[in-house]
């Protein structure tokens, strides 16, 4: 009788050796929230149109970035990112990588750009190169590296070089989420090109989502 029962279970696709689902308890948590800016950034430039008198252009607007301070074990490093020069803008305007990572800077425009930075964490001058070509840089110091174009003064971008993999670029609606964060007390840094940076302490609990709302001002 017992063997018949097992046979029926097997026929029904039920494993008789794992009838109780075993789920590991979560070992990480999340940080989510919303970032508002005062003054709010002007609407992002989306047009392909580009006038050749750079002086009349509005400087490229950049999204805010959220990242955790300090060395934190675990997580998946962001060792590579791409920031394209397209329609006379850095696309995306902000990338975040883990220290030691590389960023590629392809030129997609049918004219020359010259990417440079005087930032403390990285000085670079990629020189001029045509459409279809790319250059790559290693970022081996933690910090905010603002990049510009020597040809087009309205172009602006930022490479956020962090000590750990826990970072997020804030979406257009102000929301952000950082997942798989180890439990514990963390310092959350909010950065925006045109606002004062802000720090908040948050306690992350395994299996739970910590929420933070901030307003960046200047
Ligand atoms: Cu340019």
- Please write the tens of the pLDDT for every residue from 96-114: 999 999 999 999 999 999 9
Q: The pTM is what?
A: 0.82
Q: How far is the CA of 178 from the centre of ligand 1 (A)?
A: 32
- Report in angstroms the alpha-carbon separations of 43 from 31, 58, 198, 203: 27, 10, 23, 34
Q: How far is the CA of 128 from the centre of ligand 1 (A)?
A: 9
27: left (phi over 0), alpha (psi -120 to 50) or beta: alpha
Reported as a single tens digit per residue, the pLDDT across 112-150 is 999 999 999 999 999 999 999 999 999 999 999 999 999
Domain boundaries, the chain: 34-42+59-216
**Does 33 score more than 90 pLDDT?**
yes
CATH of domain 34-42+59-216: 2.60.40.420
pLDDT band at 58 (very low <50, low <70, confident <90, very high): confident
Residue 25: what pLDDT? 85
21 compared with 161, residue with greater pLDDT: 161
pLDDT band at 154 (very low <50, low <70, confident <90, very high): very high
Q: How far is the CA of 150 from the centre of ligand 1 (A)?
A: 6
């Amino acid at each position: 009788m017992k063997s018949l029962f097992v046979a029926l279970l097997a026929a029904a696709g039920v494993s008789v050796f794992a009838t109780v689902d075993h789920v590991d308890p979560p070992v990480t948590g999340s940080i989510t929230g919303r970032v508002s800016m005062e003054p709010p950034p002007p609407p992002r430039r989306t047009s392909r149109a580009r006038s050749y008198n750079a002086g009349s252009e509005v400087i490229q607007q950049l999204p805010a970035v959220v990242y955790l301070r300090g060395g934190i074990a675990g997580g998946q490093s962001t060792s590579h990112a791409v920031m394209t020069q397209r329609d006379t803008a850095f696309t995306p305007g902000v990338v975040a990588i883990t220290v030691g990572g590389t960023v590629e800077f392809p030129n997609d425009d049918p004219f020359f750009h010259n990417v440079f930075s005087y930032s403390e964490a990285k000085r670079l001058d990629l020189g001029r190169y045509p459409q279809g070509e790319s250059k790559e840089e290693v970022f081996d110091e933690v910090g905010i590296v603002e990049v510009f174009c020597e040809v087009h003064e309205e172009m602006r971008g930022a490479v956020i070089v962090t000590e750990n993999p826990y970072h997020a670029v804030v979406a257009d609606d102000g929301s952000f989420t950082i997942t798989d964060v180890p439990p514990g007390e963390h310092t959350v840094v909010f950065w925006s090109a045109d606002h004062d940076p802000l720090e908040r302490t948050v306690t992350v609990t395994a299996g739970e989502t910590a929420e933070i709302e901030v307003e960046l001002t200047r």
